Structure 1
């Protein structure tokens, strides 16, 4: 049986269903964001860990130039190593046909029988190569799908300078290639980079590594510090051309997934609390209005024997019920949205399965914060209910004393008409409520403005990367450092207009305990085809005796201009350089370090060597040039700037970039919910005043002006505050999205704020229309009977 107070609660909730629904919407969207982001983070993390564990991804990777198999036994015998294996890894080029550029590929060995002990593959289609076969391969699924290749097809592949015709017998995915990029590149392009596996004997013959290996994989015992094993591996294999062992944390694929999870976690902790706080304030206003309107009922309830605690609990239940409805709806929607995004990420990160995980803590936290925020808003009002005695409650409340408030309407008495002065008087008499409405609307606008700014930042990142900085048309990379005269060979080819050298070496940069595994890029003193710019987008010249760091790298290493930095080169003679930081550059892709190319050559004791070249070309001679480049034996790969730009746009519009569209949609809904709430609360509070004005002879338009003029002023006051809040929130969101793999520039365009302002104005207009419709239906007799 339903208690009388509970029946009253349900009737009261039905009476304010519009306001209650709008507040529940704001709460629900805050919870949705938290549940969706937290669920997505947990799902990505659990799926990644399960994939790694199921297919035995190594904890430490040890690349070498060439080492005999007996050397592997020394590392495998370490008690801290749970499992160890060796493999062959080589660069390759795939010829897609006449008139097309060669495609970079990576060849990996499989055991001659069975599956790998570590770094196993997930066979999606077909079968594994036969043990005795020298021409059968398993191809990475992502490349095959992008190129329309199926088992049974053949590929013309150049390995170690020799051309081979290989037959595809299966398609596979692998945990070390969740995020596939060509060596030295950062943006994934499934159609421009391939990975294939073949039996070890065949691959060893292709790369002249019979009885040897060039990469060792180690699985560590639980609790082992990877760095300790890395140090041992580097010392043990140093005589065999070890280029520097690295842990799973530095595996590019894992690193990108980790950074994406970090960004999602940041978003999950930044946005939801803002809107739950707004919802608490809105509930405070609504409940205060209900309590004021039901003073007489409160007095009667207490006179009939209900205690102050029981009556207070009745109104607190109203608040909590709205919060619970919003939290439940938000949780359900958050689960659906999180699952949809997780499926999308599964495709983007090439997971063969999905471990969808709901974090109970996110539900508990969402409910707890929602109810706590709502309760805090309700308690501020309920304490007055508890204090009311029956006699006081059943008397009309004493008229409020406005003698000490600032008479804003009186200042403009001579220039404003009566309805306008009524609007101003209302604002000056209830500054707290007006300020709360202003802050609420401004917060919704701030989220819209900041999200639009982030969207523009993605576009700006593309334009800066491929227009302002990279002015080349093509990048050619070589299999090994070649003499600088190779530039002359390229320049003499038909269609080549201009060339610029590159020297890229793997390196570990150290500043005390802060380290970063990356590359040191040698560029001309004043690069023209791939410029280095400062924060003002002005070109930077490289000084011969120092190093220029990308801004995110300088932050990671905690260095500034003038500081000294240790650079451990992991190629050739592997010198350790002690260099001053001469400048900090603005980069949007990766976290590179730059050095003048001739100075780098001298430091490496390899003057006049280059790793690649940037080219500008004549499109009319494109096919002839492509064929000439394919005939160069030292070419490891070619990248067209147009292809790289397309890949970056795809990256930013899918995967990590897709979250910003969800945030934009949520921002638009929340903005409308907040504005509509403000309008409904204003109408509920002033319905008796409006009815009185109509009885006294005011027209419907004049009465509507008194109501909607207040909403208009509140909205106008919220706009400049929203601009300021949007500025600050933008930096917080960008911080969550940006990683050391790519950075989102913060560029404040007037159009973004104009769009956010327009959204607020449209929300205010629609809300005004809905409230105006209620005003036209206002029952004057019923409204005048209401006691305030």
Structure 2
């Protein structure tokens, strides 16, 4: 009961705490609702945007990616330069250290907290950057966090890596001078009034920005930091939905088993009370009150444990996402719901256990139950099959004599196995994602993206860089793809013919060629749009003449990270109405010349940012391992509690029922070990029978988790190997063994004389 309450309070409390913290941080720092990019829009346009119905505030900013040149870091990193917000502006900064930069000193910046901590930066330190081939040294005046970059994901990265990617807020005048954007902006953020139509405002913003190179506005749900945070919250909600029902179901089962035995022992007293005038209602109330007392202890312990674990989990997430504070939720509703559901489970188990005796006539109730009459099952087939010691036959007969209780024990232990199978599979799934994403699809060592378009001849310059073994051009273009009323903003990838460093995989995991015409959609994108091979999709290009095309879907590719659409490089350029150009390259690199390659790239004008596959893989593994270790450890402990509780209760009840028989066997000369083997044999049969059922139910849990946790940012492959079932069973068997050993002392202390004198 305590475990069920704790998991409910833990899951709901952590989700509620993070949502409250996020919303409070967003509100305090005026996090924007709409985001848009343009090439060069005049600041006079802001007045027209603010006049759009539903718009509270609009702010024009300048963004710029610079290459980092940090001491002790051979590989180049990236620094996103953002013009500083005003005191009453949008996406305001929360200073953790130092001060805001002086607007009159254009080389002063405030840096993001994660980046500062990764490099040990404090106010007064210098940071060297390269932009357009020119070196610029900037001075750190402060360290801050922003609601816009709670999850600071670098370009092309899958996980935040503050060592290689950071944010720097710089006075707008200095950034405008660098970008030649005096009196203009290239990034827009908008705050909406409560109840305003986001879709209508986005449409009007797009219309205003289109003449100035607008690439399509997006709502907050598509802002990368918010989207990743929301995906994490979705996982926590899934845990809060799946785990508590398992524990509460087991608690109801245990109450029924234990109380059923207690009622059988007190059958004569119940009959006497009924003869004295007590009705069935009074009998039921007595036992329900007894169970409610137990439930009260479980609820109190669960409240305390859930609040403690929930605060710890929420605090861990708050640190991971760089929240400046944590508003831990202690909503009475959560505690009340946990208490009510637990009480209902306990009462259900109690009523079911007592109903068979409470309505018996007094004379029948006072009479002892008829002795157990064992019989040969299935014409003696059981005995013939065993052909064994009589004690083995006793084990099987006792289990079959109480089939419902036996099935209840099997079911309870199977839920422990299922809880583990439903979580341990994530290890194999993580490795599958890594294998497909890092070794079979994106097989490059380094990806470089330019700050603008490059002519195809430039790929030869890339191939001449030190250490480059192979280089393939890549074209990335923003577009909005749709089918019917469903649309999504994506980046279309243009791949060259015969691409080997960037490969598309079919559903059977075999590489596929990029078709000459049409597009290849990832499974996730095809499912969202509801299209298949041969269907037409609408493609609205967000650059150039912003034409709208109808494009056929040629293939469906495998993919677990993001939504993607790919086509032949020449085809994508033709769609955009541009010549033979590309925006980046994927490179196979000689490891012995990495440092020389990085040094050349730093000094190359036009290089935007680099993604280093080995570093992305390492960060992905670290984050995955941290999350899995915490969650799997919690689930293993909770599953052990289930197995321990079910086995312990099962043995105690069996010992109570068979005390006279076991004592008789001791009198007849059986040793303590032989007597204990009868009880252990029963629990061994029940535990072993529970394993395949637990595997089956756990597989169902895993399927439900995959469907519930999947989002547009990533999908989780379902990979359940034999090792998952083996680990789950070993943990449960260990808990069952510990429980059995705990009861061994009671068997050893069995009072033969006292038991033989007992009437039952």
Alignment coverage as a number of residue pairs: 760
> For residue 56 of structure 2, what is the aligned residue in structure 1?
82
User: Does residue 59 in structure 1 map to residue 33 in structure 2?
Assistant: yes
Which secondary structure does the structure 2 equivalent of 1:477 belong to? strand
Contact between 1:324 and 1:370, CA under 8 Å: does it hold in 2? no
- The within-5 A match list for 1:395-406 is 395-399=367-371, 406=378
> For residue 724 of structure 2, what is the aligned residue in structure 1?
752
Q: Which among 411, 414, 427 is matched to residue 442 of structure 1?
A: 414
Q: Which among 40, 54, 72 is matched to residue 46 of structure 2?
A: 72
> For residue 474 of structure 2, what is the aligned residue in structure 1?
502
Which secondary structure does the structure 1 equivalent of 2:504 belong to? coil
- The within-5 A match list for 1:592-603 is 592-603=564-575
Distance 2:505 2:444 in 1: 16
- The within-5 A match list for 1:322-361 is 322-361=294-333
> For residue 74 of structure 2, what is the aligned residue in structure 1?
100
Structure 1's 413 and 497: CA in aligned 2 closer, same or farther, altered over 3 A? closer
What CA deviation, in whole Å up to 9, does each residue of 1:630-661 have, x standing for no partner? Answer: 12111101121111011212332345874344
Contact between 1:32 and 1:334, CA under 8 Å: does it hold in 2? yes
User: Does residue 40 in structure 1 map to residue 14 in structure 2?
Assistant: yes
Which secondary structure does the structure 1 equivalent of 2:182 belong to? coil
Structure 1's 742 and 410: CA in aligned 2 closer, same or farther, altered over 3 A? closer
- The within-5 A match list for 1:353-502 is 353-399=325-371, 406=378, 411-412=383-384, 415-502=387-474
Residues 642-651 or 318-327, more deviating = 318-327
Contact between 2:523 and 2:556, CA under 8 Å: does it hold in 1? yes
Residues 702-711 or 402-411, more deviating = 402-411
Q: Structure 2: any 5+ residue segments left out of the alignment?
A: none
Residues 119-128 or 405-414, more deviating = 405-414
Structure 1's 578 and 657: CA in aligned 2 closer, same or farther, altered over 3 A? farther
Contact between 1:92 and 1:105, CA under 8 Å: does it hold in 2? yes
Which secondary structure does the structure 1 equivalent of 2:303 belong to? helix
> For residue 587 of structure 1, what is the aligned residue in structure 2?
559
Q: Structure 1: any 5+ residue segments left out of the alignment?
A: 1-26
Residues 79-88 or 296-305, more deviating = 296-305
Q: How far off its partner does 1:338 sit?
A: 0.7
Contact between 2:130 and 2:603, CA under 8 Å: does it hold in 1? no
Structure 1's 734 and 663: CA in aligned 2 closer, same or farther, altered over 3 A? farther
> For residue 668 of structure 1, what is the aligned residue in structure 2?
640
Q: Which among 227, 231, 236 is matched to residue 255 of structure 1?
A: 227
> For residue 558 of structure 1, what is the aligned residue in structure 2?
530
Residues 712-721 or 587-596, more deviating = 587-596
Distance 1:573 1:182 in 2: 29
Distance 1:312 1:639 in 2: 68
> For residue 3 of structure 1, what is the aligned residue in structure 2?
none
Q: How far off its partner does 1:442 sit?
A: 1.0
Structure 1's 585 and 348: CA in aligned 2 closer, same or farther, altered over 3 A? same
Structure 1's 408 and 465: CA in aligned 2 closer, same or farther, altered over 3 A? farther
Contact between 1:455 and 1:660, CA under 8 Å: does it hold in 2? no
Contact between 1:409 and 1:424, CA under 8 Å: does it hold in 2? no
TM-score normalised by structure 2 residue count: 0.96
Distance 2:758 2:221 in 1: 67
What CA deviation, in whole Å up to 9, does each residue of 1:46-99 have, x standing for no partner? Answer: 111111100001111122111111111111122311122222122222222487
Which secondary structure does the structure 1 equivalent of 2:735 belong to? helix
Structure 1's 547 and 179: CA in aligned 2 closer, same or farther, altered over 3 A? same
- The within-5 A match list for 1:285-324 is 285-324=257-296
Which secondary structure does the structure 1 equivalent of 2:53 belong to? coil
Distance 1:213 1:36 in 2: 45
Contact between 2:521 and 2:553, CA under 8 Å: does it hold in 1? yes
Structure 1's 99 and 43: CA in aligned 2 closer, same or farther, altered over 3 A? closer
Distance 2:379 2:22 in 1: 63
Distance 2:143 2:466 in 1: 38
Q: How far off its partner does 1:692 sit?
A: 2.9
Contact between 1:688 and 1:784, CA under 8 Å: does it hold in 2? yes
Q: Which among 697, 700, 704 is matched to residue 728 of structure 1?
A: 700
> For residue 212 of structure 1, what is the aligned residue in structure 2?
184
Structure 1's 517 and 667: CA in aligned 2 closer, same or farther, altered over 3 A? farther
Residues 70-79 or 395-404, more deviating = 395-404
Which secondary structure does the structure 2 equivalent of 1:219 belong to? strand
Residues 92-101 or 553-562, more deviating = 92-101
Q: Which among 596, 600, 624 is matched to residue 624 of structure 1?
A: 596
Distance 1:193 1:408 in 2: 74
Q: How far off its partner does 1:457 sit?
A: 1.7
> For residue 146 of structure 2, what is the aligned residue in structure 1?
174
Which secondary structure does the structure 2 equivalent of 1:104 belong to? strand
Structure 1's 493 and 78: CA in aligned 2 closer, same or farther, altered over 3 A? closer
Distance 1:257 1:55 in 2: 17
What CA deviation, in whole Å up to 9, does each residue of 1:323-373 have, x standing for no partner? Answer: 232222122111110100111111100101111112333222221221111
Contact between 1:448 and 1:668, CA under 8 Å: does it hold in 2? no
Residues 357-366 or 482-491, more deviating = 357-366
> For residue 10 of structure 1, what is the aligned residue in structure 2?
none
Q: How far off its partner does 1:682 sit?
A: 2.3
Q: How far off its partner does 1:746 sit?
A: 1.4
> For residue 264 of structure 1, what is the aligned residue in structure 2?
236
Distance 1:611 1:460 in 2: 30
Contact between 2:157 and 2:611, CA under 8 Å: does it hold in 1? no
Distance 2:137 2:429 in 1: 45
> For residue 92 of structure 2, what is the aligned residue in structure 1?
120
What CA deviation, in whole Å up to 9, does each residue of 1:659-693 have, x standing for no partner? Answer: 34422332233333333333233223322332233
Structure 1's 660 and 34: CA in aligned 2 closer, same or farther, altered over 3 A? same
TM-score normalised by structure 1 residue count: 0.92
Which secondary structure does the structure 2 equivalent of 1:698 belong to? coil
> For residue 22 of structure 1, what is the aligned residue in structure 2?
none
Distance 1:544 1:193 in 2: 36
Q: How far off its partner does 1:574 sit?
A: 2.3
User: Does residue 244 in structure 1 map to residue 212 in structure 2?
Assistant: no
Which secondary structure does the structure 2 equivalent of 1:463 belong to? helix
Distance 1:364 1:220 in 2: 36
User: Does residue 518 in structure 1 map to residue 490 in structure 2?
Assistant: yes
Distance 2:320 2:284 in 1: 52
User: Does residue 537 in structure 1 map to residue 509 in structure 2?
Assistant: yes
Structure 1's 318 and 781: CA in aligned 2 closer, same or farther, altered over 3 A? farther
Q: How far off its partner does 1:400 sit?
A: 5.2
What CA deviation, in whole Å up to 9, does each residue of 1:96-120 have, x standing for no partner? Answer: 2487232212111125xx5251111
Which secondary structure does the structure 2 equivalent of 1:271 belong to? helix
